[in-house]
Chains A and B, each alone.
Chain A
Amino acid sequence: MSRLMNWRAPMLSLLVFFLGIGVWHALTLPTAAPQTVNDEYAALVGAAAATGQKSAFPTPADFGKKVWQHLNEPFYDRGPNDKGIGIQLGYSIGRVLVGYLLAALVAVPLGFLIGMSPTVYRALDPFIQVLKPISPLAWMPLALFTLKDSAVSAIFVIFICSVWPMLINTAFGVASVRREWLNVARTLEVGSFRTAFRVILPAAAPTIMTGMRISISIAWLVIVAAEMLVGGTGIGYFVWNEWNNLSITNILTAILSIGLVGMMLDLMMAKLTKLVTFAE
């Protein structure tokens, strides 16, 4: 019985999946319409236009074929503007990780200082509150103008967007370390360095990691948009390039892979969070 229960959720998932595909298939079934133009004209336009219609949304089969094609050849390189989806994802992940790690390097120590001192917390809070909600793409023109390098700008945008959740969570985590743990450290005459690393850091770690998990999701959201803007390489550029080509199948493939990578990044962070989380 319980084994059956265990299967219920996956079965339901599969059902939803096939239902979705079915609806998609039904909605995109080609409507058989007679060709409204002569053959010479028909050769010049797409299949839909030849029957007096707008080009159609791809069917699940079209999409499946495209995904298979990409899976077979994820790492091809046919010049600077045409690389496989695997390479593009690699560029994006690389950018995200560089920007994200830089942000962590800045946010965690800074958040620590802010969290330790209520005065600094109050002094910097207005700046953080103003800077935090700024859309990543709003930074892009500024970054391009001042940094004068699009690769650096993209990384900067990742940095600036992923820095806030980490900074705020670190500060909050550090500030809300239980007084009694600090008192234990004080009565044991533990130095401030050892207190920071042995008491405050592990105590705040779950909160910090939550901030880092939020950050990586944001960073991944931002990179696609940023790359659509700067172009060159990356999955965002891939989407833009295929938009240019109005290739919905390719865009869907990209969307799928963006989702999968995003999920993987999040799962990774969830695992790490679990490592530092403690029950009370």
Chain B
Amino acid sequence: MSAFKDPFDASTSLTRGCSCGQHHSEAAHQADLAGQTTDSELLGNRVVEAAVMRALFPHDATRRRFLNAVGASTAMAAISTFFPMGMAKEAFAQTGKLEKTSLKVGFIPITCATPIIMSQPMGFYARQGLNVEVVKTAGWAVVRDKTINKEYDAAHMLSPMPLAITLGVGANALPYTMPAVENINGQAITLAIKHKDKKDPKSWKGFKFAVPFDYSMHNYLLRYFLAEHGIDPDKDVQIRSVPPPEMVANLRANNIDGFLAPDPVNQRAVYDGVGYIHTLTKDIWDGHPCCAFAASKEFVTTMPNTYRALLKSIMEATAFASKQENRKQIAEAIAPANYLNQPVTVVEQVLTGTFADGLGNIRKEPNRIDFDPFPWHSFAVWILTQMKRWGQLKGDVDYAKVAREVYLATDAAKLMKEVGMKPPTATSKKFTVMGKEFDPAKPDAYLKSFAIKST
């Protein structure tokens, strides 16, 4: 948590002036929105400064004392005299020579990783001059460890993971960034075929559910969904963390009654006649983020050009994937053993949204999965409220700050423009989850409004 303070802000302020929480006032917020580049440069600067400050003062308390004593601007000036801060900032802002061209990016074999995976066979990495090896990985804990160990330069993660890693929840705190969301929607609740008559969630008491990871949208969405139907996820059902590849096997063996899982797991359960798709997560929260492209802050700051090129490839791939007409082609590219290792039809049904539901019906949901890279700060804030709601995060959280530091919305916006996508003008927005509105400016009030939560 402490690692996320604004590097030149000595005090910790919990209330912020603007709706996104990033600006000191609403006016500044508006001004930034008017000139996106200014904002992006500002943020770029801050990233560099933060890295320098952190390198100089690894202990937060020391840094705060230093800043309190001399003042932020004096500190900046003093440090600039011996550290070429300007140069570092420029390096980040400009497109320069790639620091490294051979990269390793880890992924979990699920359709959420589509942009990361497809960029390899479809040449999006190569177009940026990068030689990227995409490495299939056994689970998120391993992805996390291998990224921390620098075996991977960047990786496919669950969107709550960079937040958890930075806050030191479930791992040692390490500054992490999430410059892009990979997919929105694309998950589903799947139940065992034997429960085909128990469609009402109120009848699910005593069920055993699987989610891919504790710090996953899947966990939060399932808990949210159950709680909205009056089922206390901590008391009335069992929720376990099971790696996606093991989910269908467990469902088949009757070890679990259902799961909220990433695809192709849901469709694979249907394909094997083991389960049926109960609810698509787009019907819980349309447009929710799921998986993300993440990199350590160190990678972002020490290899800004490589980072930019990599992110640009992902953005381009995401833009390509967001077009319905390309989906079949993508399915064919990512289904082979080297990537998802699934029958093509399974991947195709997921991506096109025309799929068998496991009960004999063919459903057509074109936005079953979609791709939108923009890492809304409000997504991070919502995730943080759920982390607090279910007791993963204790104490006070500066929601806006953590969101801003980890979800690099401005970088994303800038690159989205470069690849011809239309980034939103704001970095934060309101949205509704199962008919209930979420206002990112009032996270605590939102949190208080839930009847079912861990205490």
Contact = CB atoms under 8 A, between A and B. Distances in A.
Q: Do chains A and B touch in the complex (CB under 8 A)?
A: yes
A37 B271 CA distance: 13
A149 B149 CA distance: 6
Interface in B381-428: none
B109 A244 contact: yes
Contact of A232 (B135, B249, B338, B362): B135
B325 interface: no
B337 A231 contact: no
Contacts of B360: 36-37, 41
Contacts of B336: 78, 82
A219 B2 CA distance: 43
B245 interface: yes
Given A41-B356, A149-B151, A52 B273 contact: yes
B356 A81 contact: no
B398 to A, nearest CB: 28
B270 A54 contact: no
A244 B139 CA distance: 11
A44 B345 contact: yes
A45 B136 CA distance: 25
A181 interface: no
B368 to A, nearest CB: 14
B138 A45 contact: no
Contacts of A45: 270-271, 273, 356, 358
A48 B246 CA distance: 20
A81 B272 contact: no
Contact of A145 (B138, B145, B343): B145
B341 interface: yes
A243 interface: yes
Interface in B138-178: 138-139, 141-142, 145-146, 148-151
A149 B147 CA distance: 10
B252 interface: yes
Contacts of B109: 241, 244
B342 interface: yes
Contacts of B248: 246
A228 B138 contact: yes
Contact of B249 (A78, A230, A243): A243
Nearest to A43: B345
Interface in A217-238: 228-232, 237
Interface in A66-123: 78-82
B266 to A, nearest CB: 13
B268 interface: yes
B332 interface: no
Nearest to A54: B273
A249 interface: no
Interface in A122-175: 141, 144-145, 148-150
Given A144-B149, A241-B136, A48 B273 contact: yes
Provide the main secondary structure of the chain A interface: loop
B112 interface: no
B150 to A, nearest CB: 7
Given A54-B272, A54-B274, A231-B138, A241 B362 contact: no
Contact of B245 (A82, A145, A240): A240
Nearest to B110: A244
Interface string B230-255: 00000000000000111011001000
B134 interface: yes
A145 B341 CA distance: 29
Given A44-B349, A45-B271, A81 B246 contact: no
B220 interface: no
Contacts of A28: none
Nearest to A79: B338
Given A80-B133, A240-B138, A244-B341, A46 B273 contact: yes
A53 interface: yes
A48 B138 contact: no
B137 interface: yes
A43 B356 CA distance: 9
B339 interface: yes
Contacts of B345: 43-44
Contacts of A229: 138-139, 142
8 contacts: A44-B345, A45-B273, A54-B193, A55-B272, A148-B150, A150-B142, A228-B138, A241-B109
Given A229-B142, A242-B341, 14 more contacts: A45-B270, A45-B358, A54-B252, A55-B272, A78-B337, A80-B135, A81-B134, A82-B341, A141-B145, A145-B145, A231-B136, A231-B138, A241-B136, A243-B249
Smallest CB-CB A-B distances: 7 pairs: A49-B273, A82-B338, A244-B245, A79-B338, A148-B149, A55-B272, A44-B356
